[in-house]
Structure 1
Amino acid sequence: MVPDDTTSPDAEVGSSNDFLAPGDDAPADLSDVLVYGLVGGIAGSVLSFVPLATVLGGAVAGYLCGGRSSDALKTGAVAGVVMTLPFAALVFFLLFFLGVAGAPAEFGVIALLVVGLAAAYTLGSGIVGGYLGYYLRGRL
């Protein structure tokens, strides 16, 4: 008789691991976290016209990464950082040209505050999306 690798003798019926694919409970490698975070960040940036695209980008990253919930949170954070980069680059590019044109310093301080708040929103929603993707991977 060949042993079945998909179930373990000590697994309880109805446990939360019933929905996970084999190997999903193993920690993800750092390279997986970075690659899937990059993929999720690009997906979120491409879907930026959709409401809550930052959550969708994090969810894509968390779903693809697998591993443990902490890995999904890290992957969502990487996706959030990747989604923040185009916005921050655009704002700093515009600030450079406005600074050359002689804009007041207060404008730069307000712009930095806006970039900081937008980065916190994007990073936070990417982390939430990463956990949501992890949860959906276990259920679908």
Structure 2
Amino acid sequence: MAPEDTLRNAVIGAVASVLLTFTGISPLLGGAVAGYLNSDGTADSGDGLRVGALSGFIASVPIAGLLLLVLVLFPFFGFFGFPIEFSLVAGSLFVFGAIAVVASTAYTVVLSALGGLLGVYLKEEL
């Protein structure tokens, strides 16, 4: 597959992930779509993992961006009506939010990579 085909298939898989968020396993399904489209029936599992992971990364960009935006703006909104000064509470909220962003991105990328592997397997078997 050409690199532009891989990128196109990863974007299609990312869109499928976003549209299927109500299922709970949308990264897996989006990665499977990307892996299925990227496979020509003779591809190895590494191609499926690669396109699935790329699809998951693309799908996680809006989610991570929204979480980071909330994380940056949260101290300015105030906590129960009082502005939060940078203290131990604000620092711990920032660290917790950063961990949440990294964990959600890792969850999406790993499940999408497994979905890409599943998509390649389905293409070869069907």
What TM-score do you get using the length of structure 1 for normalisation? 0.76
* 1:41 corresponds to which of 3, 11, 14: 14
Q: Which has the larger radius of gyration?
A: 1
Q: Shift of residue 122 of structure 1?
A: 0.7
CA contact (8 A) 1:33 1:71 kept: no
Q: Which of the pair is proportionally richer in helix? A: 2
Cα deviation 1:42-94 (Å, max 9, x = unaligned): 11011111121110000000000013322211110111101211210111111
Counterpart AA for 2:14: G
Ranges in structure 2 where 5+ consecutive residues have no aligned partner: 78-83
- Correspondence for 1:90: 66
Q: Shift of residue 99 of structure 1?
A: 2.9
Separation in 2, partners of 1:33, 1:73: 12
The Cα RMSD (Å) is: 1.3
Cα deviation 1:18-48 (Å, max 9, x = unaligned): xxxxxxxxxx221111110111011101111
CA contact (8 A) 1:59 1:126 kept: yes
CA contact (8 A) 1:88 1:115 kept: yes
Q: Give the number of the structure with larger relative contact order, counting CA–CA contacts within 8 Å between residues 6 or more apart.
A: 2
What TM-score do you get using the length of structure 2 for normalisation? 0.84
CA contact (8 A) 1:61 1:76 kept: yes
Identity of aligned residues (%): 33
CA contact (8 A) 2:68 2:101 kept: no
Count of aligned positions: 113
Aligned positions of 1:1-140 closer than 5 A: 28-66=1-39, 67-101=43-77, 102=84, 104-140=90-126
Separation in 1, partners of 2:35, 2:14: 11
- Correspondence for 1:7: none
Q: Shift of residue 100 of structure 1?
A: 2.6
Cα deviation 1:93-117 (Å, max 9, x = unaligned): 1112113343612101001101111
Ranges in structure 1 where 5+ consecutive residues have no aligned partner: 1-27
Separation in 2, partners of 1:106, 1:55: 32
